[in-house]
Structure 1
Amino acid sequence: MHWHPSNLEPLLPPDHGGPGHFPGFPHSGAAPDPATVDPAVLGALLHRHGWLRRGGAAGRYGRWTPPGHAGTSVLVPENRAFPDCADLLEEALTALSRSTLPSAREVLYGLSVPSDEIRWEREVPPGAYGLEGEAAWTVQEQLRSAARQLLLAGALAARARAGYYGARHRAKAERALDAVLVGPQPGGRRLSAYVPVDGGRGTVTRLHHALHAAREAVDYQRATGGMEAFDAAVAAGVSRELAEALIALVRGSEGARVALAWAPAAGVPAGCAARPEPVEFSPGDLPVLREAAARYTRDEPAVQVRVAGAVVRMRRSAPGGGGTVRLRVLAGADVPYVRAALDEEAYRVAGHAHLVGLPIRISGRLQRRGGFRRLTDAADVRPVPLDEVERDRLMKSLEESYDPADVLSTDD
């Protein structure tokens, strides 16, 4: 049974509700089965979460205690060759499951759901009276929002490379963050996120490369005045979205730091350091990051597409002539909706298809302005023929969570 420690909570997007919207989340329950626990992984997780090894028999087992709680300890065998390994593991896991320490719960979660860990720290000036009440809550929300933006930028880059994504790939990237848990700490200056290796390692790996590439590009610009390093950094995952996330992280602080640690049970991903160096950004980097975000937006080219979509809205200023249609995208573009201006004949075709419940195909160029939601130079508008069964499935896909791509054939 998976663990969902009480000090960890979902990384919720702004428009989501509570954890009930995420049926895949682990819930509280029994500690992990000792037979499935690698003693070396347990020791690595205890060390990561601040526990200290204080003695024990070398080569046989170690005694681990949490900082500030000398009266609490667990014995962890070095490996399964130790004769009493199973008994020691069971006792250690039982003690951790009964502990009220947040670090104990986080260790158990790491055993149950192998996860890469990302830690954010912001240096926020406390002011004359410190950070209390509403001020502390505001600082924590700022950090949480910036952390989510960074994870989203990593998830976007794991799907495709672009200097500016806009609405492209966003829905899939957001779904990739559904299983991420965060553990905020009092004061709002620190936040940890736990990204399950299963389904999430690509996001963390890409974010790792992108953060270091962004740091190098900022250093290059501040040393030479040139922005060309940001062009090369796109291949590593740097984008307008990442730059804006870093701006949100640093703004209002005296500096920020991002550190990554790989799940001990999963090993180190190819091309990454075993212990990645933390990446730091300061207020002095903000002008460069703002310039990079603007440059990425300005330089991202339009995309030629042929979209299949269901007409969900039509509008024109007079009974005759062309008008504007809004399509729910079913295939051909990685955005949920597009808007297109059509001439009179194309508008008539779209209107008839809408009346009989058929999608249409349309060619054009997705423009970066507006986040790749606007289709220009629209041409070759035609209905997509569907039989009755396919049409019913399409209607369901528009109302529920079916995949519309299952309905439509590829465009020849």
Structure 2
Amino acid sequence: MNPSHAPHILLVNPWIHDFAAYDFWANPLGLLTLGGILRHHGARVSYLDCLDRFHPSSASRPSPSARCGRGPYLKTVIAKPPGLEDIPRNYCRYGIDPDWFRRDLSAMDPPDLVLVTSLMTYWYPGARETIAAVRSIHPQVPVVLGGIYATLCTDHARRTCGADRVVVGPGEGAILPLAAEMTGWSPTPRFDPQDLDSLPRAAMDLASRLVHVPLLTSRGCPFQCAYCASHRLQPRMMRRSPRSVVAEIEYWHRHHGVRDFAFYDDALLVDAERHIIPLLEGIIAAGMDVRFHTPNALHIREITLPLARLMRRAGFHTIRLGLETTAFERRQSMDRKVNEDEFLRTIGHLKAAGFNAGQVGAYLLAGLPGQDVTGVENSIAVVKQAGVTPVIAHYTPIPHTPMWDDAVAASRYDLASDPIFTNNAIFPCQSETFSWEVLTRLKQLAGH
């Protein structure tokens, strides 16, 4: 293309292939942040969301206000991947009909570059199918894959997914040089990737219907838990100013009518006096009728009674706590985030601030290497006795984390051979065959 002409760049959020998937305030924030940068510099940006619950062709589009913006994806049963045929559950493509996607892609002007994101490592078949669908319509257009799977399983992605390029790590600093290389268009950068306040607003408005907006007020995490890849994905802790976050919330609420916001931070409450407290005070002062949700879990020991009261006044609606286990005497090998007294004290603060059991949930990891089911059942009982909701979080073995070698040794699958075997829905680190009865019992105990 002519270097003086801004390109047409297409963003694509791929299908999910899995045994289970649900929209818990999920948005491809990284991809749409790149879209905001490209649009800010003059590119024409389009967006196709293979997970779109509100697609115009859907016969049963949900109400935007239902479940605070959450909801089930459309799904179609598909063949199970090789090696998982013995799992007694349906395996599905979650998202829109592939014919709708190809029709939408054919109807738009041909793009000069296609950017596809990726999330869970074992969701790569959905990314691969998405890239193949793009190729079927525009075989000559370059396709770039980025995101979490691309970063954690780079060699596998390069061999498997069919993209022209696999980008590793945060894309903000790489996107303009990449666009220049792929299209010949080379604008002068008007932001600093190391200054989060300078990033243009994410292109959330490209969604067919905007029912919830993700918020990332910081990147990175000071903790290095054995089961988590946060430090690998974002080694450096970076923060936005509270003022810029409040301005973003006001923009989406007042200009687009968004009421539900989900914090994606890994360490939202750390250094509270300089970060979350002024942020909450700014939200309260703005007088907005909004709801906040914390699907990424909050650090328990950071919650004081004054902070809990501020969270309540600001509109926090769904609280998820990173408890992981109540076997406190054995958790040193996993993390050092909380002890029993801190957990119970925090529950007391949240209750005193006015949060009820339905709003507060504690994540409990199930399926850890060497973990006994009895330990999970005991943790469920402790959380219920504390008066909040136990939320079972299935452990996903993640490459490059300290727990990875233990996971590989414990698994009945060859985890290192294919990310498909790390699917947390099948309890891959159990040595015995998947048991639907065990999973059902845990769900019943937790009240799911």
Normalising by the smaller structure, the TM-score range is: under 0.3
TM-score when normalising by structure 2: 0.23
TM-score when normalising by structure 1: 0.24
Q: Which has the higher strand share?
A: 1
- Who wins on radius of gyration, i.e. which is larger? 1
